[in-house]
Homo-oligomer: A and B are copies of this chain.
Amino acid sequence: MSNHKFQCSSCSSSYEPSPTLLECDRCGSPLNISYVTQLGSDLHPTGWSGHPIPLPLDHQKDLITLGEGNTPVVQLNNVKNRIGAEIYVKQEYMNPTGSFKDRGTSVMISALKSFGINELVEDSSGNAGASLSAYAAMSNMKAHIFVPESAPAPKIGQIQVYGATIHKIPGSRDATTEAAKAFVRNNNLVYASHNLSPFFIEGTKIFAHEVFREFGDHIPEDIVIPVGNGSLYLGMWKGLCELKESNQISRIPRLHFVQTEAVKPIYSAANNVAWDTSMIRETRSGGTAVGSPPRQDQVIDALIRSKGSCTTVTEKELIDWQKFLASKEGIYAEPTSATALAGTEKLIRSGEIGKNSRILVPITGSGLKDDQPN
């Protein structure tokens, strides 16, 4: 018997956990993990010695790890001088493959491996593809990564060095996803989608538990996260809900999100503004460039329930912040992380976040994985 079930994020239908079930059979919505027993409550993430965190695994030895998580929190003085507010960043690029995705991948791969799965398919030319390839390599699983033919060579390079099989697909980003899904169907394989697998958020939620370990009940009032699929945003939300339900925190911080002007489906939906994928433009912020995020409704629900706000930033603003972070704080972040800082500055200027607030922002990924800013 497992300690969890799958539960539909929309109609609440529940299902036995399965490596292949990625959406609700009844309404088609994405699934979440819901814990039903205390089984496995003695499990812990890598290097963790704090309060219990529910994990969807049976045994500690099932946890596949490269040492992800336990990233440091640093206070940024030059950013404070610029924007006024007290600002902390959590250095998520200091994860094994250089991004926060490793948190989700660790738990997802562990769960899939414990189902006996040894071959995986994923579509991502960015952080998720590299992360999945690395964890697949060390756990002797075969990974197929589908990428758009136009994906930048360095990103494909990182995936390749981990030994994954790359499938280059011509056409749009959506064409890549469709090709991956067809390959899954035709070869009867498992689609290890970081967007759809309910296990992924069980890893990213550990981010929230670490923030609590760091700050205790003095968690910053405002947390600002760049959102594409929302896997870190929803992980943060889930972790905070777990902390609230177990009476460990008395208040939930406001969870704000940032997208770019170039790709802003969730921002538009949250503000009842018309937007569709034909309006996608090029952006350096690869992590937020998701035209049709399957968990959009969940992100908006967490936004409303946490009383957060959202904004968008321009390419000029995010590149300016990428340079500022590197040259004034010694943090070489991917453009996606700079999107969050640029958005933070806007939310302070517009009064959504108070000048006296304490703000936490994740530095989601390393600038070394991207083209150099110029």
Contacts and interface: CB of A to CB of B under 8 A. Distances in A.
Interface in A132-190: 133-138, 140, 157-158, 160-163
Contact of A368 (B71, B72, B91, B369): B369
A138 B72 contact: no
Given A140-B78, A368-B98, A327 B67 contact: no
A72 to B, nearest CB: 3
Interface string A69-113: 011111011100000000000010011111000000000000000
Interface residues of A, number: 46
A284 to B, nearest CB: 14
B330 A161 contact: no
Interface string A343-374: 00000000000000000000000111100110
Nearest to A366: B368
A116 interface: no
Nearest to A322: B161
Nearest to A328: B137
A215 to B, nearest CB: 14
Contact of A157 (B157, B161, B372): B372
A133 B97 CA distance: 23
Contact of A74 (B66, B163, B326, B332): B66
Given A71-B67, A91-B67, A372-B161, A329 B366 contact: no
A366 B154 CA distance: 14
A293 to B, nearest CB: 27
Number of copies: 2
Interface in A209-230: none
A332 B140 contact: no
A331 interface: yes
Contacts of A328: 137-138, 163
B327 A163 contact: yes
B78 A135 contact: no
Contact of A329 (B94, B138, B326): B138
A323 interface: yes
A327 B161 contact: yes
Nearest to A156: B372
Interface string A48-72: 0000000000000000011100111
Contact of A94 (B96, B135, B373): B96
8 contacts: A66-B91, A67-B91, A97-B332, A134-B332, A137-B330, A138-B328, A138-B329, A161-B327
Closest 3 CB pairs of A and B: A67-B72, A163-B327, A134-B330
